[in-house]
Amino acid sequence: MNGTIKSIRDIIHNLNSASLDPKTEVVIAPPTLYLLLAREHLRKGLEVASQNVFDKPNGAFTGEISVDQLKDSGITWTILGHSERRVILQEDDGFVAQKTKAALEGGLGVILCCGESLEQREKEETVKVVTTQLKAVAEVVKDWSKIVVAYEPIWAIGTGKVATTEQAQEVHAAIRDWIKKEISSEAADATRILYGGSVNAKNCKELGKQADIDGFLVGGASLKPEFVDIINAQQ
């Protein structure tokens, strides 16, 4: 929940005028109020995501946004299951799964977030928590070709704490192994798994070298010029 018309115009101008790695897919996710502003001004080839979507079609659901409305506005992606929505708004695994199903059936790509709290990590429950969150989706969605998984340790969001490259890679590898066992080998190879936990220009290159880290879900750093450096981390 950041940004003004001016600041978002500035971010988009910076992206539009930057030299970006052509091999890196870029999707930005402004607050709902600024989705159309972003889509109208962002250059072709860069996509826009909503930060949420409802699991029902258009109707009497005050305050929500539908898949159809996003598609009508040229929005091609949505972020679902973000830890802030799971924790603050009490969205459970089943609700996230139903929203994922609705988004995919409506033709959107889904950035599906999963992650554990500090308490869960200290209890060595990380893999169990993350795979339980993914399992809820697997129970209602069989085709994962339009799902990008984002691992975001809750304890590393907005705290300045970052999982070590080894910690991040370990969880990413476990996620890929789970996809291989529960979905398919093809899905495990094709599914992109992003890391999202205080990613910045200083740590992105080292994180990006890990075998199972395919990109980043960028938070606070996406509001700064260094976002371009993160996009180009693999060059």
Q: Look over the chain and give the mean of its residue pLDDT values, rounded to a whole number.
A: 96
The pLDDT value recorded for residue 227 is 98
The pLDDT value recorded for residue 27 is 98
pLDDT tens, residue by residue, 129-179:
999 999 999 999 999 999 999 999 998 877 777 789 999 999 999 999 999
**Known catalytic membership, residue 119:** no
**pLDDT band, very low/low/confident/very high, at 235 (cuts 50, 70, 90):** confident
The pLDDT value recorded for residue 143 is 97
Task: Supply the range of the domain harboring residue 142.
Answer: 5-231
Q: Please say if the pLDDT value at position 86 is more than 80.
A: yes
The pLDDT value recorded for residue 156 is 83
Q: In percent, how much of the chain has pLDDT > 70?
A: 100
220: tokens are 């606070």
> How far lies 18's CA from each of 72, 92, 200, 218, 231, in Å?
28, 39, 17, 17, 10
CA gap 162, 232 in Å, rounded: 20
234: tokens are 């693999």
Output the DSSP codes for the chain: ----HHHHHHHHHHHHHS---TTS--EE---GGGHHHHHHHSPTT-EEEES---SS-SSS-TT---HHHHHHTT--EEEES-HHHHHHS---HHHHHHHHHHHHHTT-EEEEEE---HHHHHTT-HHHHHHHHHHHHHTT----TTEEEEE--GGGSSSS----HHHHHHHHHHHHHHHHHHT-HHHHHH--EEE-SS--TTTHHHHHTSTT--EE---GGGGSTTHHHHHTTT-
CATH of the domain at 107: 3.20.20.70
Residue 105: CB atoms within 10 Å: 11
**Known catalytic membership, residue 152:** yes
The pLDDT value recorded for residue 66 is 98
pLDDT tens, residue by residue, 198-234:
899 999 999 999 999 999 999 999 999 999 999 999 8
**pLDDT band, very low/low/confident/very high, at 36 (cuts 50, 70, 90):** very high
Q: Are 170 and 191 contacting, i.e. CB atoms less than 8 angstroms apart?
A: no
Q: For the residues 109-115, what does the mean pLDDT come to?
A: 98
> Rounded to 5 degrees, what are φ and ψ at 216?
-140, 145
CA gap 152, 32 in Å, rounded: 22
Q: For the residues 2-7, what does the mean pLDDT come to?
A: 97
**Could you give the number of structural domains in the chain?**
1
The pLDDT value recorded for residue 160 is 73
Out of 47, 91, 116, 152, pick the active-site residue. Answer: 152
Out of 47, 82, 116, 172, pick the active-site residue. Answer: 82
